[in-house]
Every structure is written in structure tokens, then in C-alpha cells.
């Protein structure tokens, strides 16, 4: 089962790539990059296309930060391909700028702790994995609750800040705002600047 501060469970699976080809990929193929791994319930549903499109339309913001996005559902690659061929204006997803992984046997969803029993679909899990393959953040939403791409980017920025500066990121931290050293003096300095 997936845990924060532990290696992300590796997997090998078929995926529909951005160019529309089908390729076998492994999570380990992405070592050296940050990974946003997100699960969604099913193709041809309702909240799901809005999330897939939102991440796809902003893929360059992730890549400029050294991150890749991977989407996973319990559908087949054939279902992914058919959904890509349906226009966005008709509930389809069109071209997607990152791989959509087929978890037909539900093993990946089960390993990441997001698989529901009934219906046997994945909850909306989002996992931030660092360049060494370690899970640094995980959020799981119920089926009707769509995610926020800005929050995924903010968490990625916070992790990069922690790694680069050795500071921790307080509530509502965003790039350009004050962080703090993780000690009593750091908290005192932060509190004096923010709450004064």
C-alpha cells in the first residue's frame, strides 16, 4: 500500500501516449523527474473529462518544473483511444498531452489504495512523487469532487522550494511568499513577519 515518505509502488502497464500510440510504460521510467500520478474513475463520464483536459491544457507548466503527469483509470487503452476521438464539445477529451494508463485488472488502483469495491472504479487520487520515486503528497477525493490543477502545481512548487532552500512551506504558501526554517527561531521570525 502506498505511504508518504516511502517509494511509490512501481507498475508496468499499457498507456495511450500523447501521439495516440499505445506503449508499455513503467513508473520507474520517470525517475529523475517529479510525477503527478492521478487516478480517475472511468472514461466517458462527467467530472473526469474536465480534469483530464485541465491537466492536459497546462502540461507545459508541469514540464517547466521538471514534472510529468500520468493519468490512470480502470478502462482499457481502446476505451482511452475512443474517448480521445470524441470531440471535447461532445464530452470527449480530444488530444491529451500526457499518457493515459490502462489499469484494466485494477492492480495499480488497488496498490495505491484508491479502488472502490462497488462500483469497482478508482477514486480521484492524486500522488506527488519526487525525483527519487518517493511519495511526498497524496490526496483522494470522492467521485463527485473534481481536483484543482492550481493546487497540484502549488504542491509541486512547495516540494521544489523545500528541496532547494531547506525551508518548510506554511499554510497557503505560494511561490514568492515567505517560507520558514523548521525550528523555533524560524517560526518566530515567520510569525513576526506575517502576523504582526
Annotated active-site positions, please? 48
How are strands ordered across the β-sheet holding 22-26? 22-26, 12-16, 100-102, 67-73, 34-39, 124-129, 135-141
- Picking from 29, 118, 22, 115, the residue whose alpha carbon sits closest to that of residue 74 is 115
Instruction: Say how many residues make up the chain.
Output: 196
d(CA 189, CA 168): 13
Write the DSSP assignment of 27-65 as a string of letters: GGGGTTSEEEEEE-S-TT-SHHHHHHHHHHHTHHHHHTT
The set of cell numbers assigned to 95 is 488530444
- Look at residue 26 and give its three-state secondary structure: strand
Q: Which residues contact 59 (CB under 8 A, 6 or more apart)?
A: 69, 97, 98
Amino acid at each position: 500500500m502506498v505511504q508518504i515518505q516511502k517509494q511509490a509502488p512501481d507498475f508496468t502497464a499499457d498507456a495511450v501516449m500523447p501521439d495516440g500510440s499505445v506503449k508499455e510504460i513503467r513508473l520507474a521510467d520517470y525517475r529523475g523527474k517529479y510525477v503527478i500520478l492521478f487516478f480517475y474513475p472511468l472514461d466517458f463520464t462527467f467530472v473526469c473529462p474536465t480534469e483530464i483536459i485541465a491537466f492536459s491544457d497546462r502540461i507545459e507548466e508541469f514540464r517547466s518544473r521538471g514534472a510529468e503527469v500520468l493519468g490512470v483509470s480502470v478502462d482499457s487503452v481502446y476505451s482511452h483511444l475512443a474517448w480521445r476521438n470524441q470531440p471535447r464539445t461532445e464530452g470527449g477529451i480530444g488530444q491529451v498531452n500526457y499518457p493515459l494508463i490502462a489499469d484494466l485488472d485494477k492492480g495499480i488502483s488497488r496498490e495505491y489504495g484508491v479502488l472502490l469495491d462497488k462500483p469497482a472504479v478508482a477514486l480521484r487520487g492524486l500522488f506527488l512523487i519526487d525525483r527519487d520515486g518517493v511519495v511526498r503528497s497524496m490526496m483522494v477525493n470522492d467521485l463527485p469532487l473534481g481536483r484543482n490543477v492550481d493546487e497540484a502545481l502549488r504542491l509541486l512548487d512547495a516540494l521544489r522550494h523545500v528541496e532547494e532552500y531547506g525551508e518548510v512551506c506554511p499554510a497557503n504558501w505560494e511561490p514568492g511568499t515567505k517560507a520558514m526554517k523548521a525550528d523555533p527561531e524560524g517560526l518566530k521570525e515567520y510569525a513576526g513577519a506575517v502576523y504582526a
